[in-house]
Amino acid sequence: MSTTTLEPTLEKAMKIEDTASYANNIKNVTVIGAGTMGNGICHVFAQCGYKVSMMDVSQDAMNRALATIAKNFDRQIAKQSITEADKEKAMANIATYTSMAESMSTADLVIEAATENIDLKIKIFKEIDTYAPEHCILATNTSSISITRISSQTKRMGKVIGMHFMNPVPVMKLIEVINGYATDKSTTNTIIDLSKMLGKVPCVVNDYPGFISNRILLPMINEAILSLQEGVAGVEEIDTIMKLGMAHPMGPLQLADFIGLDTCYSIMNVLHMGFGNQKYAPATLLANMVQAGFLGVKSGEGFYKHTPGSKELIVSERFSDKKWKI
């Protein structure tokens, strides 16, 4: 077939493609998962005046999330970036739900920020597709899982997109916007504009394992864990070298504790499987720590010991001498 026969069809297809942005139509946002990321995402939307439905299977997780959001607003008040009245208004914008169906009956945008596990996300997206209104955009905050694979579980592949916020969400400017293979142009444009309306900077990338952020960051963290595992250096030395030598604001092991070692492990597994390359195999030490429940900040101990309210960096006793075992 000659290109001249194809051209009119292509031209037509491009003309009918909807490239409009519907960011201004988004008023109600549902956030699935009220953990580390979910609470930050709710915080930012609520502060910007959106009606936020926070949904989690655990009411305890949502109570903790509300307490964290209130505490983080108090920090902003202390820095005089918001007032007490702003805090009250924003907190009043957040409602909590344990029922998926109820949480999204009027949603214009659903952002899934549940545990990084492919089977769980597939199950959640099937449910979201059933309950969310037809016009609703479905975004996932996944760190590494294929947007295309997640979207294929729905009957609206064009409306599914990656909206990858960074931790801590209220502070970090970047949103990595990930186009699935079948994401519509108007969905991408809507999420780009919405990100800007939240005061964030969107960066659009394509759907490959780990996207850009975690394809580059996680192998570095894993290499730091391998160096510790091999006894090349201790926790403090590894983090100090990367902080002072590379001007990183925090060392890779401290960052791993912040991200959550379970999340780091899941992302490494996605990279390992997705690229089929042994260089992405997660460190045995990382696997062992996750299996033993040493998950970093969220469990109180990882490479460091974490006491709520304290910013002091104390290396976990397990790594404070050279006798520890993997």
Binding mask 114-143 for ligand NAD (x = CB under 6 A): xxx---x---x----------------xxx
- The conformation of residue 282, written as its DSSP 8-state character, comes to P
Which entry of 214, 222, 266, 316 is annotated as an active-site residue?
A: 214
CA atoms of 145 and 9, how far apart (whole Å): 34
Question: Would you say 234 or 267 has its CB closer to ligand NAD?
Answer: 267
For the question of residue 214 being annotated catalytic, the response is: yes
Q: Which residue has the tokens 């490959």?
A: 208
Tell me: does residue 38 bind ligand NAD (CB under 6 A). yes
> Which residues fall within 8 angstroms of residue 256, CB to CB, at 6 or more apart?
221, 224, 225, 264, 286, 296, 302, 303
Question: Would you say 183 or 234 has its CB closer to ligand NAD?
Answer: 183
Size of the site for ligand NAD (CB under 6 A): 27
Question: Would you say 90 or 261 has its CB closer to ligand NAD?
Answer: 261
Tell me: does residue 32 bind ligand NAD (CB under 6 A). yes
Tell me: does residue 299 bind ligand NAD (CB under 6 A). no
Question: Would you say 180 or 234 has its CB closer to ligand NAD?
Answer: 180
CA atoms of 33 and 115, how far apart (whole Å): 7
Question: Would you say 36 or 148 has its CB closer to ligand NAD?
Answer: 36
Residue 301 Cβ vs ligand NAD, minimum distance, rounded to whole Å = 15
Tell me which stretch binds ligand NAD (CB under 6 A): 3-11, 109-117, 191-199, 269-277: 109-117
Evaluate the CA torsion angle 163, 221, 68, 247 in order and state its sign: negative
Residue 157's Cβ-side half-sphere holds a number of Cα atoms within 13 Å equal to 10
Tell me: does residue 251 bind ligand NAD (CB under 6 A). no
Binding mask 58-97 for ligand NAD (x = CB under 6 A): x--x------------------------------------
Helix/strand/coil for 162: strand
Return the residues of window 181-220 that contact ligand NAD according to CB under 6 A. Answer: none
CA atoms of 114 and 55, how far apart (whole Å): 10
Amino acid residing at 181: Y
Burial degree of 210 (CB within 10 A; 0-12, 13-18, 19+): buried
Burial degree of 182 (CB within 10 A; 0-12, 13-18, 19+): middle
Q: Rule CB under 6 A: which residues touch ligand NAD?
A: 32-38, 55-58, 61, 113-116, 120, 124, 141-143, 164, 167, 259-260, 263, 298
Residues recognised as catalytic: 143, 164, 176, 214
